[in-house]
Amino acid sequence: MSDALENLLSETRRFAPPAELAAHANVTSDAQPEDRLAFWETQARRLSWAKDWDQTLDWSNPPFAKWFVGGELNVAYNCLDRHVEAGLGDRVAIHWEGEPGDTRTITYSDLLSEVKQAANALTDLGVGQGDRVAIYLPMIPEAAVAMLATARIGATHSVVFGGFSVDALSGRIQDADAKLVITADGGYRRGAPSALKPTVDEAVALCPGIEHVLVVRRTGQEVAWTDKDLWWHETVAKASTEHTAQAFDAENPLFILYTSGTTAKPKGILHTTGGYLTQASYTHHAVFDLKPETDVYWCTADIGWVTGHSYIVYGPLSNGATQVMYEGTPDTPHRGRFWEIVQKYKVTILYTAPTAIRTFMKWGDDIPAGFDLSSLRILGSVGEPINPEAWMWYREHIGANNCPIVDTWWQTETGAMMLSPLPGVTHTKPGSAMSPLPGIAADVVDDQGNSVPNGGGGYLVLREPWPSMLRTIWGDDARYLETYWSRFGDMYFAGDGAKKDEDGNIWLLGRVDDVMLVSGHNISTTEVESALVSHPDVAEAAVVGATDPTTGQAIVAFVILRGGVESDVDVLRNHVSKTLGPICKPRQIMIVPELPKTRSGKIMRRLLRDVAENRTLGDVTTLQDSSIMSLISSGMQSSK
Ligand code: 6R9
């Protein structure tokens, strides 16, 4: 661990939970339970089971876990029917806000009858338990309905981002061998209808296994029609609203989700039902301190990201939450759109990503200042390490210095949150995910797999199986073993670098592939990025290591400046050198208008490395906006 890192992590600010919140918190201790399995059994009892389990965990064939063996439940029943049966049918499940400003208010009763109809429609189309359904939709309520209807009949969904290309979509359909696609004519993005159906048409032409395509009408765009196509509003609306949920085995597959394309061939991460729902539901209740009667929760993620699965659909709905769902982008029709939505629905819990927070910083403090954000009580962050600078901005400008920030570390593979502060308990530190949640055995280990002492750094691992863990990579057990379980034998290797501070709290340092080796020193991209963002002129930074004849690798930084400022790159290089030490001084800094990101907001450093090393760009199919790369590359050439 470099000295520079010590420097970055000498963050000493701590923030206690507000007394009022702590006094009424759902969870009042962050202590690890003495009996981990008994703890998870208790959490599983928050759900409704049709048949009790015989064994909590079967770990006789590691790393292939089975949780709640012999238990049976229906996921959709847990998310909908049981709330309606408890008399909560009139509670709003979803306040949906379309990008153009159209809205829908959907109660639990409404959502239940739509899901029942959709379940009947899927059954009529020949979809049954174990079949795979591909979902390629914008952020409209039908996305949640489609997922829940698939789950209700024991089938398995594979949601594909609405922004992905024909190749990405057809590859995922083929890998999962799906028989049905649910899509829409299009969705609204940046003020205009953006078509989806043409991509599906091309993809389906490459996928003979697809029997039907169910099409939601959202934008009213002209669509080409094939004999496999059916309108959602005709097929689903004429189906019966009567449907009794059948219980399925706790290990029945719930979904496959392909991990974001920052790596090579996407991996189909498989999740099952009982353990997954137990942990998604518990963590949503504990980490957001959800009070379903009074809270208005909003997770700004897309449904195509695991965050949308666990914290828009399964976690919140299993807890009977009222939530906001927004179709569009944060700057349409204006840059205050998120804050306008918070004000309009009196959102109390907001869950978003560091990339969004840094964008808001860049747009300026005056924008959120123009709205009433006083309803907010808890702020969440997910997706990347959050720099202390962005954390403080979030706390001050969105949370009025009064809302605990829960920085939640987890992965598609973990299914649900693993490390996070608890809002009524933890004294938070800006930039740290703090500690493993109750029931989770996380640690930081060195190269040899030994636990590092406080103050040490290494790799984040999980020592014990957890309920919502991936069960395998779809169709590829060997790759599951190789990717996660070959490095340290009996510990799950998360692929993230981490450090324990003097109190034993955990700081995430980014993907281990993103560590640079400069003149023999290990430097994490996160620490240099944080140093850059701590300069008042900088809104956002991405750092990569580029091959260098003298130093092995050299630091190349791509920087977005805050609105209206002009900055001298040498000033910024010296700022890094002063903050972290001369070894961390970037060889080169490029001022750029945007950074290449996946739709979940992760910077695709692999593409920036290609640019920094003058290579042809690798696979760009998962980029949110592919034109950004040509802008960046042309700037890079001219700066040399
Ligand atoms: C939920 C999600 C997983 C990777 C993970 C890590 C990064 C996510 C983070 C975080 C630091 C956090 N990550 N949350 N890093 N602090 N709070 O993002 O899933 O898309 O699979 O990405 O994201 O690197 O390994 P996924």
pLDDT digits (tens, 9 = 90+) for 252-310: 999 999 985 444 578 999 999 999 999 999 999 999 999 999 999 999 999 999 999 99
Q: In the structure, what pLDDT confidence band is assigned to residue 356 with cuts at 50, 70 and 90?
A: very high
Q: In the structure, what pLDDT confidence band is assigned to residue 1 with cuts at 50, 70 and 90?
A: very low
SS3 363: helix
Q: In the structure, what pLDDT confidence band is assigned to residue 622 with cuts at 50, 70 and 90?
A: low
% helix, strand, coil for the chain, step of 5: 30, 25, 45
Nearest to 255 by CA among 326, 320, 313: 313
Average pLDDT estimate for 633-640: 56
φ, ψ of residue 338 in degrees (nearest 5): -60, -40
Question: Measured from the CB, is residue 239 less than 6 Å from ligand 1?
Answer: no
The angle, 0 to 180 degrees and rounded to 10, between the axes of the packed helices 605-612 and 627-639 is 30
321 Cβ neighbours under 8 A, 6+ residues apart: 93, 284, 290, 292, 295, 297
How much is the ipTM here? 0.99
Nearest to 59 by CA among 412, 492, 410: 492
How distant is the alpha carbon of residue 226 from its chain centre?
A: 34
CA 320/CA 142 separation, integer angstroms: 18
Lowest mean pLDDT among 145-149, 239-243, 259-263, 449-453: 259-263
| Pairing outcome for strands 323-326 and 297-299 | parallel
Nearest to 235 by CA among 306, 142, 102, 160: 142
Inform me whether the pLDDT recorded for 11 exceeds 70.
yes
Nearest to 407 by CA among 396, 423, 393: 423
45 Cβ neighbours under 8 A, 6+ residues apart: none
Q: Is the peptide bond before 100 cis (omega within 30 degrees of 0)?
A: no
What are the DSSP calls for 483-540, one per residue? HHHSSSTTSEEEEEEEEE-TTS-EEEEEEGGGEEEETTEEEEHHHHHHHHHTSTTEEE
φ, ψ of residue 313 in degrees (nearest 5): -90, -75
Lowest mean pLDDT among 230-239, 581-590, 630-639: 630-639
* CA-proximal residue: ligand 1, atom 15 (nearest): 384
Question: Measured from the CB, is residue 408 less than 6 Å from ligand 1?
Answer: yes
Question: Measured from the CB, is residue 380 less than 6 Å from ligand 1?
Answer: no
Which tens digit of pLDDT belongs to each residue from 572-615? Answer: 999 999 988 888 999 999 999 888 887 777 888 888 988 888 87
Please state, for a pLDDT cut of 70, what percent of the chain lies above it.
Answer: 95
Inform me whether the pLDDT recorded for 564 exceeds 80.
no
Average pLDDT estimate for 86-90: 98
Lowest mean pLDDT among 126-130, 273-277, 533-537: 533-537
SS3 108: helix
Lowest mean pLDDT among 218-222, 330-334, 529-533, 597-601: 597-601
Q: Is the peptide bond before 404 cis (omega within 30 degrees of 0)?
A: no
Instruction: Identify the helix (H) or strand (E) that includes residue 609.
Output: helix 605-612
* CA-proximal residue: ligand 1, atom 10 (nearest): 384
Question: Measured from the CB, is residue 411 less than 6 Å from ligand 1?
Answer: yes
Inform me whether the pLDDT recorded for 458 exceeds 90.
yes
Q: Under a CB-based contact definition with an 8 Å cutoff, are residues 375 and 402 in contact?
A: no
The type of residue at 364 is: G
Nearest to 471 by CA among 69, 161, 164, 182: 69
CB hemisphere CA count around 455 (13 angstroms): 2
* CA-proximal residue: ligand 1, atom 11 (nearest): 385
CA 81/CA 245 separation, integer angstroms: 9
Mutate to test the pocket of ligand 1, among 306, 384, 412, 435 (most ligand atoms within 8 A of CB): 384
CA 90/CA 465 separation, integer angstroms: 38
Lowest mean pLDDT among 225-234, 242-251, 361-370, 559-568: 559-568
Give the dihedral of Cα atoms 378, 383, 387, 390; nearest 10 deg.
-50
pLDDT of residue 620: 65
Instruction: Identify the helix (H) or strand (E) that includes residue 124.
Output: helix 108-124
CA 605/CA 264 separation, integer angstroms: 13
CA 609/CA 554 separation, integer angstroms: 11
Which tens digit of pLDDT belongs to each residue from 377-404? Answer: 999 999 999 999 999 999 999 999 999 9
pLDDT of residue 613: 86
Partnered with residue 54 across adjacent β-strands are none
Inform me whether the pLDDT recorded for 618 exceeds 80.
no
Across the beta sheet with 297-299, the strand order is 103-107, 92-97, 323-326, 297-299, 349-352, 378-381, 405-407
Q: In angstroms, what CA-CA distances link 113 with 106, 107, 611?
A: 11, 10, 51
Question: Measured from the CB, is residue 514 less than 6 Å from ligand 1?
Answer: no
Question: Measured from the CB, is residue 382 less than 6 Å from ligand 1?
Answer: yes
The pTM for the full model equals 0.89
Average pLDDT estimate for 536-557: 91
Structure tokens, 66: 């089975």
User: Higher pLDDT residue, 621 or 297?
Assistant: 297
Instruction: Please state the residue numbers annotated as binding site.
Output: 189-192, 307, 383-385, 407-412, 496, 511, 519, 533, 535, 538
Structure tokens, 72: 């049976």
Question: Measured from the CB, is residue 385 less than 6 Å from ligand 1?
Answer: yes
Residue for token pair 């930084």 = 557
CA 625/CA 634 separation, integer angstroms: 16
91 Cβ neighbours under 8 A, 6+ residues apart: 83, 107, 108, 292, 320, 322
Q: In angstroms, what CA-CA distances link 435 with 33, 59, 308, 425?
A: 14, 25, 23, 12
CA 556/CA 211 separation, integer angstroms: 49
pLDDT of residue 601: 79
Partnered with residue 542 across adjacent β-strands are 558
396 Cβ neighbours under 8 A, 6+ residues apart: none
Q: Within 193-352, where are the H helices?
A: 197-205, 232-235, 274-287, 306-308, 315-318, 337-345
* CA-proximal residue: ligand 1, atom 2 (nearest): 411
pLDDT of residue 636: 60
Q: Under a CB-based contact definition with an 8 Å cutoff, are residues 514 and 498 in contact?
A: no
Structure tokens, 577: 């050198």
φ, ψ of residue 8 in degrees (nearest 5): -60, -35
Q: Under a CB-based contact definition with an 8 Å cutoff, are residues 586 and 555 in contact?
A: yes
User: Higher pLDDT residue, 612 or 135?
Assistant: 135
Mutate to test the pocket of ligand 1, among 355, 413, 496, 597 (most ligand atoms within 8 A of CB): 496
pLDDT of residue 448: 95
Radius of gyration of the chain (CA): 24
Q: In angstroms, what CA-CA distances link 25 with 15, 177, 186, 377, 420?
A: 16, 45, 42, 12, 15
Question: Measured from the CB, is residue 433 less than 6 Å from ligand 1?
Answer: yes
Which tens digit of pLDDT belongs to each residue from 36-74? Answer: 999 999 999 999 999 999 999 999 999 999 999 999 999
Q: In angstroms, what CA-CA distances link 518 with 6, 525, 574, 584?
A: 17, 11, 17, 8
pLDDT of residue 75: 98
Q: Under a CB-based contact definition with an 8 Å cutoff, are residues 492 and 461 in contact?
A: yes
